[in-house]
Amino acid sequence: MLVDLRPTERLRKDNGAAVASVLGSIMHAVGDESLDLDHLRIVCDWVQYKNSFREAVEIRPILNGSAHEQLEIGVDLRRTASTQYDVNAEMSRALARRDESDRHHLEPWGRTTASLIWSFNSLYWKALGLWEAVSGRPYEQALPGGESDARNAAAARDTITRLFAIWDGLAERRALPDQLHVLEIGVGNGSQARVWLDTFVEIDREAGRDYYRRLHYLMGDYSPHLLDVARAQVRHHEDHTSTIVLDATKPSNTLGFLKYKTFFVYISNVYDNLPTDEIARIDGHLFQVETRAYLAAAPAAAIAASINATAGELPDLIARLLRLGPELLAETEPRRFADAHAAVRFWAAVWEAIGLEERYVALPPLDEYEFAPGINGEVLRPLMEAHGDVRMHVSNGAAASFVDTLPLLHPHGILECHDIFVTNLEGYANAFRGPGKYEGSVVNWVNGNVLAALGGRRGFDVAFRKFAFRTGSNITTMTAEVRE
Ligand SMILES: C[S@@+](CC[C@H](N)C(=O)[O-])C[C@H]1O[C@@H](n2cnc3c(N)ncnc32)[C@H](O)[C@@H]1O
């Protein structure tokens, strides 16, 4: 039996006694059950997100194709270490569920990138106005630190100064095009664009270059609602900005006209919001983490009762919510939802209750694992082979977005990304990296190793440094530039 205690930082704090007591309870529960200890793993994470898709105790079958099915018991130390928590009872319930589940499953097992949690995520951004009206909380308040580092003026100044140096060099060689294109993907409420453009104007005045006259700042997002909000933020720059609806995972589909022309691509807190799978190496074998979304019996009953439905009707209502959005759902189901706000309350209750069951399934050979369009899993091999057993995110959506954005860059252009990155695979062993829920959206740390490998193969230098403009920030700045 293997016991893996992941949250090393947390264990160093004052939690030692509580964690010891959780471990004692686990050993007790395991002893009572007829579990094959030879095939048992216990993995303890400290799930820092107030809301996530995990129960405090999870059972994860490891389907290795042999008669001896292994089992992983996942424990969230943060919740189980609290004094009111009865770990024994929770373990027994989780183990009993293996034989008879009382959960309402909302989808079949599959890769997490295919899960409906991503439809919830995109609904959140597209119907954010309604969500915020009902919750009373703007999305930025839900970010760690209460605001986005994207609107940090010192960070903007740093980048713009670098851009000016590049443009000065090109101008000297008479190689500077007339139009200076900048692209932001995933603009949120447009605060970053406003700070960036205001700072640009200041620096341009100070430097007397007249670059602002030639600047064109394009804001891309898949949420028309947010593009409207962002456009309003930068109204005073309206001659130099435009907005475009695009899918961040395939920017080239919409932005082909910018190929090799964009001097600066900015993307902040978006990669952590794009779909991702997880893969794992267990005892030297590779596995895909498969998931399926469910509602536990008690919240399903309460939610169903609140709209005069049965729990059995929920999967269909949820599918319609995701397809139609809250406004149309309320129109088509007036008996259940008095108005769009009532449909949003239903949505929020479902979202809060949604969990993801997990199991490990043997991964196909890496060269057959397509983790983003046109990219097979070969790029993962060095990562999976060099580090022993590991469970990590593949960052499929971020990888697709990154690879499809690079061709838009001018040969002297820079892609800059602010996000939560794991840049060293050790990072997966010492903390929980998602998925978590922020308001109605999904968050996962981004596997920087994958992006660095993909960029490197395409002739780009990919560098990571700690975000330098706010102390205590866990944001990393990633840059990609054509290798000299
Ligand atoms: C967490 S917000 C970040 C906003 C802003 N960049 C910031 O740092 O505050 C994520 C943004 O990415 C957008 N987004 C998420 N997935 C996307 C996708 N697949 N295509 C386009 N935009 C997407 C959302 O609509 C939202 O504007």
Q: Give me the helices (H) in 127-243, please.
A: 128-135, 139-142, 153-172, 191-207, 224-233
Q: Is residue 219 included in any domain, yes or no?
A: no
**Structural domain contains residue 335:** no
Q: Give a yes or no: residue 140 inside a domain.
A: no
CA distance 43 to 45: 7
| Nearest ligand 1 atom to alpha carbon 438 | 1
Could you tell which of 196, 246, 273 is best to mutate to test the pocket of ligand 1, judged by most ligand atoms within 8 Å of the CB? 273
Distance of CA 418 from the midpoint of ligand 1 (Å): 12
Q: Give the residue among 445, 439, 328, 464 at the shortest CA–CA distance from 391.
A: 445
> 175 lies in a domain?
no
Do the Cβ atoms of 435 and 442 come closer than 8 Å?
yes
Residue nearest to atom 4 of ligand 1 (CA): 188
Residues in the chain: 484
Note whether residue 54 is domain-resident: yes
Determine contact, residues 340/130, Cβ cutoff 8 Å.
yes
3-state secondary structure of 358: strand
**Closest C-alpha to ligand 1, atom 12:** 186
Nearest CA to ligand 1 atom 13: 186
In which domain, by residue range, is 24 found?
1-100
Q: Ligand 1 mean position to 188 CA, how many Å? A: 6
456 in a structural domain:
no
Cis before 435? omega within 30: yes
Q: In this structure, is residue 4 part of a structural domain?
A: yes
Beta strands in 39-193 (DSSP E): 40-45, 57-63, 70-76, 104-105, 110-111, 180-185
Structural domain total, the chain: 1
Atom of ligand 1 nearest to the CA of 186: 12
Per-residue confidence (pLDDT) for residue 33, from 0 to 100: 63
Q: How far is the CA of 409 from the centre of ligand 1 (A)?
A: 20
Would you say residue 482 lies in a domain? no
- Measure 110 CA to ligand 1 centroid, in angstroms: 25
pLDDT by 10s per residue, the chain, length 484:
888 888 777 777 677 777 788 888 888 777 766 677 778 899 999 999 999 999 999 999 999 877 777 899 999 998 888 777 788 888 888 888 877 788 999 999 999 999 999 999 999 999 999 999 999 988 777 665 566 665 788 889 999 999 999 999 999 999 999 999 999 999 999 999 999 999 999 999 999 999 999 999 999 999 999 999 999 999 999 999 999 999 999 999 999 999 999 999 999 999 999 999 999 999 999 999 999 999 999 999 999 999 999 999 999 999 999 999 999 999 999 999 999 999 999 999 999 999 999 999 999 889 898 888 888 899 899 888 888 899 999 999 999 999 999 999 999 999 999 999 999 988 998 899 999 999 999 999 999 999 999 999 999 999 999 877 666 678 999 999 999 8
- Enumerate the β-bridge partners of residue 409: 262
pTM: predicted TM-score of the whole model, two decimal places: 0.95
Q: 139 CA to middle of ligand 1, Å?
A: 11
Ligand 1 binding residues, C-beta < 6 A: 125, 148, 150, 186-188, 192, 221-223, 226, 246-249, 268-270, 273-274
The DSSP code for 52 is: B
Residue 142 CA to ligand 1 center (angstroms) comes to 14
Q: What is the pLDDT of residue 149?
A: 61
